[in-house]
Amino acid sequence: MSADAHPKLLDAVTGQPRVVWITAFAAVIAFMGIGLVDPILLSIAEGLHATPSEVTLLFSSYLGVQVLAMLLTGAASARFGAKRTLVGGLVLIVLATVLCAAAGTIGQLVGLRAVWGLGNAFFIATALSVIVGAASGGQKGAILLYEAALGIGLSVGPLLGALLGSISWRGPFLGTAVLMALALVLCLVFLPADRHERRARISVLDPLRALRHGPLLRTSIGSALYTAAFFTVLAWTPFVLGYGAVQIGLIFFGWGLAVAVAGVLFAPKLAGRFGERHATVLAVFGYAALMLVMAVDNKAVLVVAVIVSGLVSGLLNTLFTGTAMSVSPAPRPVASAGYNFCRWLGGAVAATLVGHVAQWFGSPRVPFLCVAALCVAAGVLLTARERTPDAHEVPAEAVLVGEEL
C-alpha cells in the first residue's frame, strides 16, 4: 500500500456499518492487553512477592500461547465461523481477566495470562476478517480503521494500567474485564450469525510448510530477532527505570502513539523510497543503535530512547510484514500465519530470558546489549541476496498481519 494510496482517516471512519464499529471497539480493548501490565510490573512483584524474572513470565506465557494458537485460528474460523470464533475468544479473555484480578500467586497469574493469550489469538485474527469483510469504502478504509484500533489500544493500555494500577495492581485486570464483557455483549447481540456454508479447509501445518521458502524463512527469523528486542523494551524497561505506575504509563503512552503514527504514516513512505527490504535493513540497524543507547546508565536517556524506539518499532512492524508478504509465493493468510509464528516466538523467548540474562551478568543494562546484537544479526540476515525484486509498495495486509499480538 503506497503512501499516496493510503486513505484519509476521515474517509475511513465515516459511514461505517455498526458491525465494524463494534468489532473495532473490541479490538481496541484486546490490543490494550499488550501493554496493560507494563506500568504495574513492579506493583505485581511487590504484591505477590515475585522476582523480576517471574514477573516477566506474564509476557512470555501470554505470547507463547498466542504464538501456538495463531496456527489454529484459520482452521477454527473455517470450521466454526467468524462470529463463533470471535465470541469464543472474548469469553476466554473475560474469564481470564476476572480471575487475574483474584490471583493469589504469581504462578496463577502467569497461567491466567496464558489463557488470555489464547483468547486474544482467536479474537484478533478473526476481528480482522470481520472488519475487512463488513467495512464500507473498500479494503483500504477497513485497514486504516484496524490500524487506528491498534494504535489506540497500544497507547491507552499502559495509561489505563497506570491509572487503575495506582489504586491496586488488581485494578487494571478488573477494568479490562468490564470493558471486554461489554464488547462481548455487543458482539453477541449485533454481529450477524455465521452462515451455514461450505468453507475451505486450512491445515494447521500449512503455515509451517510455507516457511520452507528461503526468503520467507529468513525474513521471519529476522523479525523474530527484532521482536525479541521489542519485548525486551516492553517487559524489562520498567524494572530498569524503577518509576511508579503513572510515570511508566505515561512513558509507554508516548511509545504507543509513536508506534501507531510511524506504522501508518511513515513506513509506506520509507518503503516507497528505498524498497521494503532495504528500508527494513536500515530501520533494524537503527533499532540496534537505540538498544545501545538504552544501555547507557542514565534514566533520562533511557526514557527518551524508549519513546523514540516506538517510532522505529512502528516502521519495523509494517516493513517486516510487508517484506514477508512480498517474497512469499504462498497465499497471504498462510504466509502471514507462518511469519507471525516465528515473529512472536522471538518475543516470548525474550520475555522469558531477559530477567535471567540480567541476573547472569549482574547488570540490568546487559539485556539491551544482547538484543542490539540480535538486531544486527537480523539486518545481516536480510542483506542476503534475493532473486525476487525489492518491492516499493507495502501490501495492504502488511500493516495488519504484523500487528496481531
Q: Where are the domains of the chain?
A: 9-401
**CA–CA dist 184, 182 (Å, integer):** 5
CB atoms within 10 A of CB 286: 18
Burial of 293 (0-12, 13-18, 19+ CB in 10 A): middle
Q: What CA–CA distance (Å, rounded) separates 219 from 325?
A: 10
pLDDT at 353 over 50: yes
Report which of residues 115 and 144 the model is more confident about. Answer: 115
Helices (H), 36-137: 41-47, 52-55, 57-80, 82-101, 106-134
Burial of 387 (0-12, 13-18, 19+ CB in 10 A): exposed
Nearest Cα to Cα of residue 112 among 160, 58, 168: 58
Task: Please tell me the pTM assigned to this model.
Answer: 0.81
pLDDT category of residue 225 using cuts at 50, 70 and 90 = very high
d(CA 142, CA 147) in angstroms, rounded, equals 9
Nearest to 204 by CA among 305, 112, 94, 71: 71
Residue 210 has pLDDT above 70, yes or no: yes
With 0-12 / 13-18 / 19 or more C-beta atoms within 10 angstroms meaning exposed / middle / buried, residue 24 is buried
pLDDT at residue 331, as a whole number: 74
The answer to whether residue 404 scores a pLDDT higher than 60 is no
CATH of domain 9-401: 1.20.1250.20
Mean pLDDT across 343-354: 90
Of the listed ranges 144-158, 210-224, 380-394, the least confidently predicted one is 380-394
pLDDT tens-digit readout, 238-280? 999 999 888 999 999 999 889 888 887 888 889 889 988 899 9
CB 145 within 8 A of CB 131: yes
pLDDT tens digits along 77-130: 667 777 888 899 999 999 999 999 999 999 999 999 999 999 988 887 677 667
d(CA 331, CA 329): 7
User: How many whole angstroms separate alpha carbon 42 and alpha carbon 52?
Assistant: 8
Element (H, E) at 398: helix 398-401
Distance, in Å, from the CA atom of 49 to the CA atom of 103, rounded to the nearest integer, reads 13
